[in-house]
């Protein structure tokens, strides 16, 4: 029996999961070394701790409820987050009541399993499903109008052989093509970034600028910023932000144009700058009103008459595909600024 106990104890120590036993008072009585590793605590520091001691404040009530459940019903399962030596980890925690032969409650045992990656996959799947729903609504709205207009022009063109109406029909079909292409891009680039590697933002930004019709806009030489990213998706992100700046930035008010004077009054300068959490792209153009800064990322949002409204929506989906966040704010020179916060794991 003693040999058997030693084998079982050795087996528990080989687990990647956390194994724990709490006594009848809810105090930690036994655990494997994985718990020491994750929280960088000694045996004496861990002995007698309560389950809630390990988890973030927002999740402690759920853990408390799970403890009550295991003592009442005999078993429980709960998810909770903890700050560990490996970063913030989401655990799936199990609990089963331990009783003596006479039915006396001795405590409970369980396993804490790291499900952080699974949760991230589920989150991305949920986001993809939400996008599909959005696309279905947008297709009904955005594609029906240009189709109707194009069909009307073609019918009239057939009767009148009007070059003007034929050109209008071609414009309508071109807009349809742009909408469809942006829908495909949002679906494809909104998936998880599958080819992440070390890239220099300076190289990506410089290349993206050559792909955009920049008119009189100027890109300041971008600084070297090394990150882990999918190069193709990152290139599309920069192309879309640059296109947004060039399209909307020059729409300055007349007073500002008069003050600056000349043809250069509407010229904008675009900058890529490092930030404590990642990087930002900003311009000195028109800017985005505070109450519009969240809406600009919604699909179908566009101030341009010929825009599809998917440019910044695609930017957000690409950022989220990398595990980043993006927000619009005011730039240092009064224009628009898009700040990209990168998780510590993705920075070089």
Provide the pLDDT for residue 301: 52
Q: Which residues make beta-bridge pairs with 283?
A: 270
Q: How high is the pLDDT of residue 115?
A: 85
The predicted pLDDT at position 148 comes to: 72
Residues 93-114: pLDDT tens digits?
999 999 988 889 999 999 999 8
pLDDT at 346: 45
Q: Are 246 and 297 in contact (CB under 8 A)?
A: no
Q: Which residues of the chain have pLDDT under 50?
A: 1-2, 252-256, 262-263, 304-307, 344-348
Q: What is the pLDDT of residue 259?
A: 52
Task: Give the strands of the sheet with 28-31, arranged side by side.
Answer: 28-31, 18-23, 105-114, 87-99, 75-84
Q: Are 202 and 222 in contact (CB under 8 A)?
A: yes
**What pLDDT does residue 10 have?**
62
**Which runs of consecutive H residues, i.e. helices, occur in the chain?**
2-13, 33-39, 43-46, 60-73, 116-138, 144-160, 163-189, 201-210, 231-248, 254-260, 311-321
Q: Give tens-digit pLDDT for 151-166.
A: 777 777 767 767 777 7
Q: Measure the CA dihedral 56/62/68/71, to 10°.
A: -80
- The structure's pTM equals 0.52
Q: Do β-strands 218-219 and 269-275 pair in parallel, antiparallel, or remain unpaired?
A: parallel
Supply the pLDDT for residue 164: 75
DSSP state of 333: T
So what's the pLDDT on residue 219? 95
- The predicted pLDDT at position 283 comes to 93
């Amino acid at each position: 029996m003693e040999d058997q106990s030693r084998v079982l104890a050795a087996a528990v120590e080989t687990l990647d999961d956390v194994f724990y036993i709490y006594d009848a008072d809810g105090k930690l009585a036994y655990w494997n070394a994985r718990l020491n590793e994750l929280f960088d605590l000694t045996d004496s520091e861990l002995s007698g701790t309560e389950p809630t001691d390990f988890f973030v404040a927002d999740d402690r009530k759920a853990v408390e409820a799970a403890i009550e459940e295991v003592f009442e019903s005999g078993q429980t399962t709960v998810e909770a987050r903890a700050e560990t030596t490996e970063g913030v980890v989401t655990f799936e925690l199990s609990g089963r009541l331990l009783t003596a032969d006479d039915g006396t409650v001795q405590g409970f045992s369980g396993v804490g399993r790291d499900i952080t990656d699974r949760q991230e996959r589920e989150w991305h799947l949920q986001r993809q499903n939400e996008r599909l729903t959005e696309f279905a609504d947008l297709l009904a709205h955005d594609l029906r109008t240009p189709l109707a207009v194009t069909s009307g022009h073609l019918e009239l063109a057939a009767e009148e052989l009007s070059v003007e109406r034929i050109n209008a029909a071609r414009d309508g079909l071109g807009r349809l093509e742009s909408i469809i292409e942006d829908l495909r891009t949002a679906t494809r680039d909104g998936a998880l970034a599958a080819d992440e590697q070390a890239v220099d933002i300076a190289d990506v930004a410089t290349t993206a600028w050559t792909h955009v019709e920049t008119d009189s806009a100027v890109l300041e030489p971008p600084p070297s910023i090394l990150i882990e990213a999918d190069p193709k998706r990152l290139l599309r992100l920069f192309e879309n932000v640059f296109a947004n700046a060039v399209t909307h930035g020059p729409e300055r008010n007349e007073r500002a144009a008069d003050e600056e004077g000349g043809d250069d009054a509407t010229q904008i300068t675009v900058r890529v700058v490092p930030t404590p959490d990642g990087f930002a792209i900003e311009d000195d153009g028109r800017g985005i009103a505070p109450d519009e800064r969240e809406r600009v990322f919604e699909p179908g949002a566009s101030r341009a008459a010929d825009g599809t409204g998917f440019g910044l929506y695609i930017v957000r989906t690409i950022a989220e595909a990398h595990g980043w966040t993006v927000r619009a704010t005011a730039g240092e020179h009064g224009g628009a600024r898009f700040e990209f916060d990168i998780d510590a794991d993705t920075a070089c």
